[in-house]
Amino acid sequence: MAELLFASFVLDKDQDLEIAIAAESVMEATPLTEKIQPLPASVPFLEGIMHLRNAVIPVINMKKRMGLDNSSEYGSDAKIAVILLANQKFGLLFDDIKEVLRVDDSLLLPIQPALQSENYIISDLITLHDQQRTLEVLDLNRIFMDSSLLAESVATAPTAQNSEPRTYSRYVIFSSGGREYGVPVENSRELTFLTDIDDMFKTGYLEGALQLRGRTIPVMNASALLNGGSTNEAGESSRILVLSTDSLNFGMIIDEIVEILTVTNEEILHMPANSDQAVTGIYEPVPERNIMLLNIGNLVTSQLELLQSMARIKSGDEEEAVESVAVAESRHLITENCYLIFSIEQHFAIELKDVQEIIEHDMLMSIPGAQGFDSKVLNLRGQVIPVVDLRSFYNYPKLNTNNNASRLIICRDGKHVVALQVDAIVTIYKQEEFHNTPSLNPKLQPKKDTLDRLIEFVGEQGIKKHVLVINTRNLINNHLRKDINQTKPTVEINTSEDKPDSQKGEK
C-alpha cells in the first residue's frame, strides 16, 4: 500500500465538514489578514481578489462553490489555501486549516459519478476508522464548471520577457515561544494532535515518545530546543509536528501551525556562513515579520544519538518485548550504554546507538552466483545494502521452518550500512558495564574479532546470563566481501572513533 499526503481544511465548523487536498497541490496556506476586494460581474462563488506579496490572487469561496452557504463572512481563524492550477494561482477560502496527514491509499473510497450531478467537485472520501472521521477529497480540476476556460486563458496569457530567474521553496511555518519558525516542506511528514506521550523516556529536551502507525517517534519540546531550555505549557492549539531527516523521524511540540508558505529564495537573508548552523536564514514576507528558517538536521545534532536510540523501531513484537522486561535495573532511560538484545540460537546484543532501524525480512534479493552469509542484498529506499545472515556467519544450523519473527537490523559503523538478519528481537536493555570476552567456543572462535566483549543480561525470569556483544565495525570491515563493502550507505553521520583498548573494560 502507498501512502498519500493530504492537507486537511475545515470547510464548515458548524457542520464539522472537512475537505482534503493533495498536499503537493497546496503551495501555501495563509491566514486571512486583509480584506478581499470584490470583483464586479464575477461568478457567484468568486469572493474577490487579494494581494499576496507581489501577486494578485483570485479567491474562491468554497462554501458558495459547494452550495452550502451564501454568506461571505468568515471568522478570525479563516485560512486561504493557495493552489496552482493551470499555471495560475488561486486562493480557496476555508474556515480553518486542521492538519497535514498521511493516508494509505486503501482508505480512499471513490464516489461513483452516477451519484453526483454534472457539477460534482468531490472525487473521493477518506475514512479514518480509528478517529471516526470522514474527509471529502477535493478534485481541483473540477473547481470551475467549465475547466476549458482555464486552458484558453493560459494559452492566451502573455509571456514575461527578460525576467530574471527566481527560485522558490515551500516551508511549514509554526510558532513557538512567541516566535515564528519555518521548516522545509520536504522535512515535514505530518501534523498530528497531542496524544498520550509515554514520558518514560523524558529527559532534557525530550518529552517522551508516541506510537504512530507502528513507529516509535521521539517527541521533543520545540520551545526548549529553540529557546535555550525555556519551556511553554501546551495549549489547545498545540500540535505535534513530525519531522524527517536523513537518519530519523521525530516530533516537536509546537504552539501552532501558522501557514504553509512559498518563499522566494533570493529574498532570504542568509546567516553568516557556518556549515553546522541550525538557522539557515531569515525571511521577511512583510515588514517587521521575521521568520527563522531552520535546518532540521543541524537543529538536532546535539540530540542525535538520543533520538536515534528511540526512533524507527517498530512496535508490535518489539514493543511488547521492551515492556516485558521485569527487572528494575533495565528500566532506565534510553540514553547511553543501551543494547538491542536479539536471538540467533542464543542471545546476542548490539549497541543501540548503532541501530538505524528494524524492518521485516521479506524484501531480500539473492546475488547470482554468490554463496555464504553475505549472499543477499536489500533495496532500502533506493540504496543497495548488504545483508549478513548471522546464523550462517556464526556457523549455526539453518532453521528448517519459515521464521515469521525474523527481522533485519539496519546498523552502521559510521562509514557503511549493513543489515543483520536475526531470528527475533528480544528487548532493549540498559547495562552500564561490559567485560572483555574471556574465551569462546570453537564454533565462534573464527569470528572472535566481532565478539570482543560481553554484558550481563537479566531476562524475564530474573535469570542472569552473559550475552556477547557484536562489534559491527569489525564485522563490516574484516569479513564482508570487498565489492559489497563499497556499497554507498543510506546514512552518513559523523560518529566518534572507536575507543582505544585502554578504555575497554568495566565502565
Burial of 393 by CB count in 10 Å (0-12 exposed, 13-18 middle, 19+ buried)? Answer: buried
Strand-pair category, 383-389 with 417-422: parallel
- Which cell is 448 given? 572472535
Residue 491 has a pLDDT of: 37
Q: What are the 10-residue block averages of pLDDT along the chain, 507 residues in total?
A: 81 86 86 77 81 81 79 75 84 87 84 76 82 84 66 46 69 89 88 75 77 80 76 75 84 88 85 68 85 88 76 46 33 54 89 78 75 82 85 86 72 80 82 82 88 84 85 86 47 38 40
Residues 6+ away with beta carbon under 8 Å from 159: none
Domains in the chain: ranges and CATH:
3-153 (2.40.50.180), 168-305 (2.40.50.180), 326-503 (2.40.50.180)
Residue 93 has a pLDDT of: 92
CA–CA separation, 411 and 344 (whole Å): 17
Residue 200 has a pLDDT of: 65
Residue 145 has a pLDDT of: 63
Residue 468 has a pLDDT of: 93
Residues 6+ away with beta carbon under 8 Å from 487: 377, 383, 384, 385, 386, 416, 417
Residue type (1 letter), 320:
E
Residue 493 has a pLDDT of: 34
CA–CA separation, 233 and 253 (whole Å): 10
Residue 507 has a pLDDT of: 35
DSSP 85-119: ETTEEEEEEESEEEEEEEEEGGGEEEPPGGGS-TT
